[in-house]
Structure 1
């Protein structure tokens, strides 16, 4: 059968999939292509020399088992490795491993040396003639792991970043792509990884550069006919951090040169860290060969921080600045600005500056004024969480009680009022409002809103509750 090699490898994959994590399977086994089967020797094609080394380093025992299971005790494995020389030509070379023995690695050629004197390479950041050891990292010392508040929204990204910092170029997270929306901490985390690597490995050359800066440097190199110096400079870096890599979209020549730099660094076990506002599958205007490389390592997302994380971020910032704010002010900021950490920190800075310049005490009223002026209209909407907090504070109930299944009259009333104001003051769906109130469905929310309206028309005391709460909830 002409496709016997594919059938054999497919059978191997089924066993492998049951013995490794899904992420490891997608990263290290899905990209493999079976090439041929001759004399009990299965040849598989892998994307790079680094890829081959990683399989041999981490999965040699598993590979032995599956090959012998499918081909018998005499079964052997060969790797066909693509060595990329330029953008249009890829030349595979084969590594024969008769006994699947890791010792044969010693005879495998490593990627080609640069053959360039580092003293002669033009540093695109400063001036010609600087040695590698003199490269400035461009890292911000305030963006450290110590200042990065961990929460459910960023735990995977932080943990993988810390693993990279402890073993740059030596983990499966290469490249490490950190993605998420604006103001969620991508740049902070990228700097933190670089700083930690510099602390642990002072001899490693770490470089942080924005994607637009990289593109402009490349354009200058083309104009000055120093593109070789540009490429060689970046190929000397041990840890390369590219921020906002999505800005390479549509820039074909910049993508092309980054592709070659990426390959060289990756094949030599150097660490690559990228940040983006979206995962690789959603990046438009990027070459497929580049996107496929972004998927080689780990893509870790930074989600929107939950309430507890937002409060912790504000408290950390206040502690760092040696200031204290009333608890209700901190909670108001955390409740009101719930999509963007940078905006929340900016609002805090604005509030502190306003209070200092005008010699005003920092009160909840002042905080409401600042948030109203500072935050974009789209983010200024009162949140369901904040409504629930105000209602629970008003009736002196713990918020957990509001979200419980208890049918106590006072709790049911507070729950219905919070549903009523959530429908009235937010753009949330009835289903979302119900989910915030202990998993109630949309019909329950509609019933609660009708009940509140009816009571407000017949019960004077109840109507005064609503009026008081509406004043507290309205941003002045």
Structure 2
């Protein structure tokens, strides 16, 4: 990397860090990489066009001040948008987007849309024989932004959702793919975006549908020989929200029809919002041409909420239900139920129910009983932190040693085993696993999983490690 570009950018970062909130700095400036400095123009690489637009909208003034301090009045900023080449042998083209003295460079792919030649649109949500052209959004009004509390675990996804709601189809995060494990709020956030769009743009047609229901409608349309009507119906939607898109796995007909619908909507400036339990890179049996489209916009991950966010979620839930509860009980529940929001709210509902049905006062002992039963009866997802602790204890080392940069064979193997079990026992993306286990990238995690598979079949001692740790983590 050009040292001059790095030093200029480091000085800019020092100035920016002193003038904005620490969390905003971490989210929006830490991922940026300085690329080169040519003719007083500093090139910086951002992870997506979403980043570029967000910086332009929220931080352009501070960027200009910082850069002018370093390079003078003639300073220019060039954004290089990092995109994977997912188009086989086709070369993506480059388009320059000028914005006063700033430039963004992006790569993209083009497809011919399906033209809607049939004015008679059949609504698959309407019972045959009942004339109804109105499209109901299928949104749940309880899933709104007000009760989707922001925390470190969901900040990027929530902010992206708000940006989409303000300007559906008008931002580069199209599609917006929200992914994460069970009960972390993917469906809630998808509904919240739809509800906000309906409030701001009542004339827009918003539709929420599960991938399973979409698939069933498609199968019905093939049986009734009206596949084109099905496609045409979905092509008139302004904001299409599809939940659990991983359900399309292995269903080539559904993937094909969705591919055409997606292309038409995308090229006509309509918004597509998807949810999934996996990142696109981890999806199995989804066609490459569809995966490449999933990567066009922004993939935002929802992670397990931290302790402070869990406390806020519980307090918000109690406030909405008009129930008062001692602080120590709220904190006890938040400390002991860490996996997801659904479990957290379920435990507090059980606690309120037990108290009112049995006319018992809500005490810490009652909370302990409920949490114990709840945790015992719930199939829990093992956390990456827990996996690292179990693996480190097994090999008699500290977690910090496991995460370190050392290349000592026994430490490398322990780290690879932690990555392997994190992929096996959690829904976290490869990138998320890598960042939590020693700040590695997703390719390192993929290599680790392959290495563990290979060593398990060739090395008897290593196979014993895998078996022992599997037992410990499965308890």
RMSD: 3.8
**1: distance between equivalents of 2:98 and 2:87?**
15
CA contact (8 A) 2:139 2:194 kept: yes
**2: distance between equivalents of 1:427 and 1:330?**
34
Does residue 114 of structure 1 match 2:81? no
The answer to which of 350-359 and 304-313 deviates more is: 350-359
Does residue 308 of structure 1 match 2:300? no
1:13-412 matched pairs, under 5 angstroms: 18-24=43-49, 25-26=80-81, 45-46=92-93, 55=95, 82-84=110-112, 113-117=115-119, 120-128=120-128, 134-375=134-375, 376=377, 379=380
CA contact (8 A) 1:27 1:296 kept: no
Q: Residue by residue, what CA displacement relative to the aligned partner does 1:303-323 show, whole Å, maximum 9, x if unpaired?
A: 111000000000000000111
Q: CA deviation at 1:332?
A: 1.1
Q: Residue by residue, what CA displacement relative to the aligned partner does 1:48-94 show, whole Å, maximum 9, x if unpaired?
A: xxxx8xx4656798779x9xxxxxxxxxxxx997433xxxxxxxxxx
Structure with larger Rg:
1
Q: CA deviation at 1:165?
A: 0.4
**2: distance between equivalents of 1:148 and 1:276?**
18
Go from structure 1 to structure 2 and tell me whether the alpha carbon gap of 1:33 and 1:213 turns closer, same or farther (over 3 Å shift). Answer: closer
Q: CA deviation at 1:212?
A: 0.5
In structure 2, the gaps of 5 or more residues are 1-34, 50-79, 403-475
CA contact (8 A) 2:135 2:205 kept: yes
Q: CA deviation at 1:131?
A: 6.1
**2: distance between equivalents of 1:244 and 1:280?**
12
Instruction: State the number of aligned residues.
Output: 329
Q: Secondary structure at the match of 2:286?
A: coil
Q: CA deviation at 1:116?
A: 2.1
**Corresponding residue number in structure 2 for 1:88:** none
Q: CA deviation at 1:130?
A: 5.5
CA contact (8 A) 1:123 1:130 kept: no
CA contact (8 A) 1:336 1:381 kept: no
CA contact (8 A) 1:241 1:273 kept: yes
**2: distance between equivalents of 1:80 and 1:284?**
23
CA contact (8 A) 1:333 1:344 kept: yes
Go from structure 1 to structure 2 and tell me whether the alpha carbon gap of 1:62 and 1:361 turns closer, same or farther (over 3 Å shift). Answer: closer
In structure 1, the gaps of 5 or more residues are 1-11, 36-43, 47-51, 67-78, 85-110, 386-421, 436-476
Q: CA deviation at 1:125?
A: 1.1
Go from structure 1 to structure 2 and tell me whether the alpha carbon gap of 1:139 and 1:234 turns closer, same or farther (over 3 Å shift). Answer: same
Q: Secondary structure at the match of 1:146?
A: coil
**1: distance between equivalents of 2:190 and 2:359?**
38
Does residue 431 of structure 1 match 2:398? yes
Q: CA deviation at 1:344?
A: 0.7
**2: distance between equivalents of 1:382 and 1:169?**
36
**Corresponding residue number in structure 1 for 2:27:** none
Go from structure 1 to structure 2 and tell me whether the alpha carbon gap of 1:270 and 1:327 turns closer, same or farther (over 3 Å shift). Answer: same
CA contact (8 A) 1:384 1:433 kept: no
**Corresponding residue number in structure 1 for 2:466:** none
Q: Secondary structure at the match of 2:345?
A: helix
**1: distance between equivalents of 2:316 and 2:144?**
13
CA contact (8 A) 1:210 1:242 kept: yes
**2: distance between equivalents of 1:381 and 1:277?**
16
Instruction: Give the 4+ runs in structure 1 shifted more than 6 A.
Output: 12-17, 31-35, 59-64, 380-385, 426-430
Q: CA deviation at 1:222?
A: 1.1
**1: distance between equivalents of 2:88 and 2:249?**
28
CA contact (8 A) 2:339 2:381 kept: no
**1: distance between equivalents of 2:37 and 2:288?**
27
CA contact (8 A) 1:336 1:383 kept: no
**2: distance between equivalents of 1:380 and 1:113?**
45
Q: CA deviation at 1:33?
A: 9.9
Q: CA deviation at 1:115?
A: 2.3
Q: Secondary structure at the match of 2:369?
A: helix
**2: distance between equivalents of 1:279 and 1:17?**
32
**1: distance between equivalents of 2:360 and 2:298?**
48
**1: distance between equivalents of 2:383 and 2:96?**
55
Q: CA deviation at 1:432?
A: 4.6
TM-score after normalising by structure 1:
0.62
